[in-house]
Amino acid sequence: MFKKILIALDCSEMGKHIFEQGFALAKMTGASLLLLHVLSSEEEGSPYIPVSSFDYYPGMWEQVSEFYQQEWDKWKNKGVEMLQSFCAQANTAGVNAEFRQIPGTPGRVICDLAASWGADLIIIGRRGHSGLAELFLGSVSNYVLHHAPCSVHVVQFPIDGKETEVVKEGASASTSR
């Protein structure tokens, strides 16, 4: 079935849910995992890029830039900590896993890495943007669906908090072995 699964994650609650789905599938199929976090200013919760409207206050731009860089470094560290935690969880359970954190445009980075790593499947989340929000914010999952070099599984974050069937089946399959 699947031998190499790339899981595209972010630092949100949805990222945890996506990992759980991919982890359960990898346990069922014996696949290896590549956990990916794309560093992007587009990600919800990432530091805001400062705008250069500080021309009236000499020296202010340097302070703002320095503050932004500190916040960006914290954001990078948070991503690495998340990836290390998920990777350790998978490896402890006997699932071969590695991780990467790459800056760039999320859709493009996901598809490029899937191609270079030879992924059979990409697992990605969907925030549910539609209409104008999707038009202006774009849709990473839509981009990946149309440009991926392999199959794509899109996880819709459950608003009601219910687990999906893949997670339930994966949990029962892993306990019955």
User: Which tens digits make up the pLDDT trace of 103-128?
Assistant: 999 999 999 999 999 999 999 998 75
Domain 4-175, CATH number (from 3.90.180.10, 3.20.20.240, 1.10.150.120, 3.40.50.620) = 3.40.50.620
Best CA proximity match to 124, nearest among 109, 103, 104: 109
Least confident of 10-24, 116-130, 153-167: 153-167
Determine what percent of the chain is predicted with pLDDT higher than 90: 55
pLDDT at 85: 98
Residue spans per domain, the chain = 4-175
Question: What's the DSSP call for residue 149?
Answer: S
| Residue bearing tokens 């849709």 | 139
Helical (H) or strand (E) element with 66:
helix 60-92
Which residues, 6 or more positions from 48, have their beta carbon under 8 angstroms from its beta carbon? Answer: 41, 68
Burial class (CB in 10 A: 0-12, 13-18, 19+), 116: exposed
